[in-house]
Amino acid sequence: MIETSELKTTGMGIFNQLAELEHEQVVFCHDKATGLKAIVAIHNTVLGPAVGGTRMWNYASEEDALNDALRLSRGMTFKSAIAGLNIGGGKAVIIGDAKKIKNEVLMRRFGKFVHGLGGRYWTAEDVNMSTRDMEYIRMETPYVTGVPESMGGGGDPSPVTAFGVFMGMKATAKKVYGSDSLKGKKVAVQGAGHVATYLMEHLSKEGAKIFVCDFHEEKLKHAADSFGATVVPVDDIYDLDVDIYSPCALGATINDDTIGRLKCAMIAGGANNQLAEELKHGRKLIEKGILYAPDFLINGGGITNVYYEQIGNYNREVVYQQTERIYETTLRVFDLAEKKGITPQESAMEIAINRINDIGKIKLSY
Ligand SMILES: NC(=O)c1ccc[n+]([C@@H]2O[C@H](COP(=O)([O-])OP(=O)(O)OC[C@H]3O[C@@H](n4cnc5c(N)ncnc54)[C@H](O)[C@@H]3O)[C@@H](O)[C@H]2O)c1
């Protein structure tokens, strides 16, 4: 039975962390020849095999990498559950600088580790991973999604993720402003990567005014040239006088340091685990009068894309139809939160957890 618990994991022993966040299994993968260091975290398999992307990042410490894997995999459980998918939550992280050490051999060695899990965990793209990397992993295991369309896969899930975020953003605007039009709304987009770029395309078509930051000059240039985005320094993104803050880079950007700086009326973005501490920072946002669209709810388009590929029944139209429902679910989450006097994050988690626990009554774990 899953229960709601505060997402706070640092400074505990590993098994205490697993108990706190209710993980089923964590696998540490090491290979001397390739230098591979990876962690696969399987959070919950009640609804089906654990599915979630692999992130490659040059973590400051191994503890940070583990913490990321634990937080991200738990988020995947709730994300798939609230999206109505029959898969559980998992995530993998590879430790290291992708620019320096990522190559075919490393990816294929990682694929062998994924294969060893026998289908309990299926991987896909996440930060610093591409469809090409998924092809390499596919050479060693069938338990991978996000492979190119030419190989029978669903391709890069980012456009679908961005569409879902856009739907969630519009629903949140409807709640805040009484209209879901984003025309003329000032949106601060943090990050100019895959998801952010597709999101900015929707926003610019809708007539929103975009502000964007990233570390990559060429991505920023593309955003400015293609969507008329105003480029701002990375550190200034929280201080902008905007209507909407859209975190589309890494997690935990809504925290003790940033909440006081935010001037927006709502937050809706694609990044995972945006709230550094779910309950505490979710409540702080309410006190500040900022409506927060839960990340794992509105960024569920990508996992929906992955799911249809995983069950071997990929159909882009169905994927987009299902992702469009994020609009309705977001409004339902806000209504439940209002009715119960809880944060949107809590109400979204309640809906996800109830589904897992209800389905858990009629089937054994995968
Ligand atoms: N790709 C998907 O389908 C998908 C699905 C669900 C969730 N997400 C989440 O969305 C986020 C973005 O994913 P992506 O696939 O677009 O990754 P990406 O690697 O393509 O883009 C991330 C971008 O963020 C930038 N960045 C990192 N730290 C930053 C900072 N402090 N300020 C500004 N920019 C910063 C990076 O330079 C990079 O350009 C991640 O949190 C990911 O987990 C992605």
pLDDT recorded at residue 157? 87
Antiparallel, parallel or unpaired: β 36-44 and 88-95: antiparallel
Contacts of 213-221 with CB under 8 Å at 24 or more apart are 213/189, 213/237, 214/249, 216/192, 219/192, 219/193, 220/192
Mean pLDDT of the chain: 94
pLDDT recorded at residue 363? 76
Q: Whose CA is nearest to atom 19 of ligand 1?
A: 127
Indicate the pLDDT class of residue 366, thresholds 50, 70 and 90. low
ipTM over 0.85: yes
* Ligand 1 centroid, distance to 195 Cα (angstroms): 7
The two three-digit tokens of residue 85, written as one number? 């998918």
pLDDT average, residue stretch 192-206:
97
Calpha distance 97→160 (Å, rounded) = 27
Is 91 a known active-site residue? yes
Per-residue pLDDT at 63 exceeds 60: yes
Of the candidates 79, 91, 102, 185, the residue annotated as catalytic is 91
The response to whether residue 124 sits with its C-beta less than 6 Å from ligand 1 reads: no
Q: Whose CA is nearest to atom 42 of ligand 1?
A: 271
pLDDT recorded at residue 90? 98
The response to whether residue 299 sits with its C-beta less than 6 Å from ligand 1 reads: yes
159-193 confidence digits (pLDDT tens): 999 999 999 999 999 999 999 999 999 999 999 99
Length of the chain: 366
The response to whether residue 216 sits with its C-beta less than 6 Å from ligand 1 reads: yes
pLDDT recorded at residue 27? 98
78-96 confidence digits (pLDDT tens): 999 999 999 999 999 999 9
pLDDT average, residue stretch 34-49:
97
pLDDT recorded at residue 149? 80
Indicate the pLDDT class of residue 10, thresholds 50, 70 and 90. low
Per-residue pLDDT at 207 exceeds 90: yes
Q: Whose CA is nearest to atom 2 of ligand 1?
A: 158
pLDDT recorded at residue 3? 57
What is residue 256's DSSP assignment? T
Strand positions, DSSP E, 88-152: 88-95, 121-122
Per-residue pLDDT at 23 exceeds 70: yes
Q: Whose CA is nearest to atom 40 of ligand 1?
A: 271
The response to whether residue 318 sits with its C-beta less than 6 Å from ligand 1 reads: no
pLDDT average, residue stretch 299-303:
96
- Assess contact for 9 and 20: CB atoms under 8 A: yes
